[in-house]
């Protein structure tokens, strides 16, 4: 059987294009579902980790405020007085409903803040699940359901006079974090305490009764302190789920971001249908172009074949002329090759010059990108990422050093009154002034907004660090002239000394931040040393 060359060539080209199109289609279809599952690691786990970070910061702030309030109010509590009114706003920001004082046997003495109805009469009889053996540090209790009107979250602490302080909490902030996460048809967030009791859940009844779901496999993993991505059966949704999950380090609360697996399958099926449609269109386009290209190739052959039929008698002359290489046609061919070689050589040299120029441009761009990644665009100071890296390095070396946390007073009003451009110029001016009065090894960084951090790696004396902070405070209070405008501003500075006991960067910065916050609370334009 003899096939026309055009048909044979067309068949070969179609088969050549069909093989990669089919392979890519099957690969895309098979990897669509895998990509959906991989997205869970990128999206669901990241969401869970972000929520745990927010909850951990909330817990740190709540425990710090609770500890500070109980310390400050210890004298008033002994005299059966309530908490000072200026503390009310602090307690409301962390969702504290009431605070009660109990003796060392767990019997209530008084309620110093909030209503008595939200406090138990006895810690041992009314609420049997309280652990009264380890109260040296303030901590969150699990959700309590026995002996209370409704499931309740508490903070508890014992002060030096052996009195026990109990703060009744509302989980408002926790519920807000949970309710903010909604995606797909049934994708959501759920938060449980360290015993598997529901703190926040889209199932209103489960949340109201603080349902214990510790038997669910993913909840058991969170109770064991694990983090990652897992599949499980959800009794709430009644479907197989896949979720990213993480644990709040300070409290042991678990956060999971589940989504029904069937939703992943549905999204993957949409990709598969689209892939098959693209494959069919690609095959059709390839067929049309192949037939056109085959025609371009075979048409000159057909014409040449027709021409050669008329010159059969001249074959001998053709062979005779083909033996020589000095004909005009060969000379033209050699000239064409020489011209082509020169053009290729010139093009190569020009390409090498362009590549060298482009390489230099890329190196310069890379250097600029590296600088921008570690420096603030407005002030040119080290940014949040860079200063945290320096602090972490010093903590790993267990060195003694000082840290100043600076927050400007009234900076927002400068932006509101004069505009952000003047505000940026003010930040840059203050940064330049501060840098001139620091030691060469000190690092001034913009931590965010109007917050700055001064890292003093050689400063191991708290009194010297406090003296340096006072000088900076005086420096910041000096008026600055920007665009013929005299701008006066002040600051509050928290001072923390690292003696190798801080576990991580967040704990050290938090101590300095808390000290700064106390300074701002006492009237601004002050320096406060962290305890």
Using CA atoms, how far apart are residues 417 and 421, in angstroms rounded to an integer?
11
Q: Could you tell me the pTM of the whole model?
A: 0.48
What is the structure's pLDDT at 451?
A: 93
In which residue ranges of the chain is pLDDT below 70?
Answer: 1-3, 5-6, 9, 25, 29-30, 32-33, 73-86, 125-134, 267-270, 272, 294, 296-338, 340-341, 363, 365-372
**Residues contacting 481, CB < 8 A, separation 6+:** 487
Q: 490 forms bridges with which residues in the sheet? A: 409
- For the stretch 69-93, pLDDT in tens is 888 766 664 555 555 666 777 888 8
Residues in the chain, total: 531
Structure tokens at 508: 């050290």
Using CA atoms, how far apart are residues 71 and 231, in angstroms rounded to an integer?
46
What is the structure's pLDDT at 324?
A: 42
What is the structure's pLDDT at 493?
A: 95
Using CA atoms, how far apart are residues 67 and 73, in angstroms rounded to an integer?
10
What is the structure's pLDDT at 311?
A: 47
What is the structure's pLDDT at 299?
A: 67
What is the structure's pLDDT at 443?
A: 94
Using CA atoms, how far apart are residues 284 and 27, in angstroms rounded to an integer?
20
What is the structure's pLDDT at 196?
A: 93
Smallest Cα–Cα separation from 256: which of 42, 47, 43, 41? 47
- For the stretch 200-209, pLDDT in tens is 999 889 988 9
Phi and psi dihedrals of 498, rounded to 5?
Answer: -95, 120
Beta strand 451-456 with 480-482 is: unpaired
- Cα dihedral 271/273/279/282 (nearest 10): -90
What is the structure's pLDDT at 239?
A: 86
Q: 261 forms bridges with which residues in the sheet? A: none
Using CA atoms, how far apart are residues 285 and 287, in angstroms rounded to an integer?
5
- For the stretch 283-341, pLDDT in tens is 777 777 777 776 766 666 666 566 555 544 444 444 444 444 444 543 454 466 567 66
- The 8-class DSSP code of residue 125 comes to T
With tokens 């046609």, the residue in question is 329
Is-contact 245 220, C-beta < 8 A? Answer: no
């Amino acid at each position: 059987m003899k096939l026309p060359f055009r048909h044979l060539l067309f068949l070969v080209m179609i088969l050549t294009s069909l093989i990669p199109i089919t392979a890519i289609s099957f690969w895309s279809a098979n990897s669509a579902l895998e990509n959906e599952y991989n997205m869970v690691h990128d999206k669901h786990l990241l969401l869970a980790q972000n929520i745990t970070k927010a909850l951990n910061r909330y817990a740190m702030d709540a425990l710090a405020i609770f500890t500070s309030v109980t310390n400050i109010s210890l004298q008033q509590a002994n005299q059966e007085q309530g908490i000072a009114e200026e503390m009310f706003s602090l307690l409301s920001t962390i969702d504290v409903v009431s605070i009660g004082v109990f003796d060392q046997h767990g019997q209530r003495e008084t309620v110093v803040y909030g209503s008595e109805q939200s406090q138990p009469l006895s810690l041992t009889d009314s609420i049997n699940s309280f652990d009264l053996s380890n109260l040296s540090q303030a901590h969150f209790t699990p959700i309590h359901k026995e002996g209370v009107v409704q499931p309740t979250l508490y903070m508890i602490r014992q002060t030096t006079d052996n009195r026990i302080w109990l703060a009744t909490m509302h989980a408002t902030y926790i519920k807000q974090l949970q309710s903010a996460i909604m995606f797909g048809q049934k994708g959501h967030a759920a938060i449980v305490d360290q015993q598997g009791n529901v703190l926040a859940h889209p199932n209103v009844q489960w949340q109201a009764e603080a349902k214990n779901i510790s038997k669910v496999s993913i909840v058991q993993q969170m109770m064991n302190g694990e983090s990652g991505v897992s599949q499980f059966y959800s009794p709430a949704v009644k479907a197989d789920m896949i979720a990213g999950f993480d644990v709040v380090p300070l409290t042991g609360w678990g956060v999971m971001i589940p989504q029904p697996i069937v939703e992943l399958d549905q999204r993957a099926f949409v990709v598969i249908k689209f892939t098959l449609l693209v494959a069919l269109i690609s095959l059709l386009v390839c067929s049309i172009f192949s037939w056109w290209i085959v025609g371009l190739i075979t048409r000159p052959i057909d014409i040449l074949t027709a021409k050669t039929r008329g010159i059969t008698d001249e074959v001998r002359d053709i062979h005779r002329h083909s033996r020589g290489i000095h004909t005009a046609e060969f000379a033209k061919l050699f000239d064409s090759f020489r011209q082509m070689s020169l053009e290729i050589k010139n093009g190569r040299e020009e390409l090498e010059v362009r590549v060298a120029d482009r390489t230099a441009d890329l190196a310069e761009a890379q250097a600029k990108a590296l600088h921008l990644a570690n420096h603030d665009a407005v002030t040119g100071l080290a940014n949040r990422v860079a200063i945290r890296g320096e602090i972490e390095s010093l903590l790993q070396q267990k060195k003694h050093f000082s840290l100043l946390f600076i927050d400007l007073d009234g900076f927002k009003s400068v932006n509101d009154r004069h505009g952000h451009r003047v505000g940026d110029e003010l930040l840059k001016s203050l940064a330049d002034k501060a840098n001139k009065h620091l030691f060469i090894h000190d690092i001034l960084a913009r931590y965010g907004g109007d917050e700055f951090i001064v890292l003093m790696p050689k400063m191991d004396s708290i009194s010297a660090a406090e003296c340096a902070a006072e000088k900076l405070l005086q420096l910041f209070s000096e008026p600055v002239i920007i665009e013929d405008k005299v701008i006066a501003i002040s600051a509050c500075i928290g001072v923390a000394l690292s003696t190798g006991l801080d576990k991580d960067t967040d704990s050290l910065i938090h101590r300095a931040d808390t000290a700064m916050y106390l300074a701002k609370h006492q009237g601004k334009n002050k320096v406060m040393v962290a305890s």
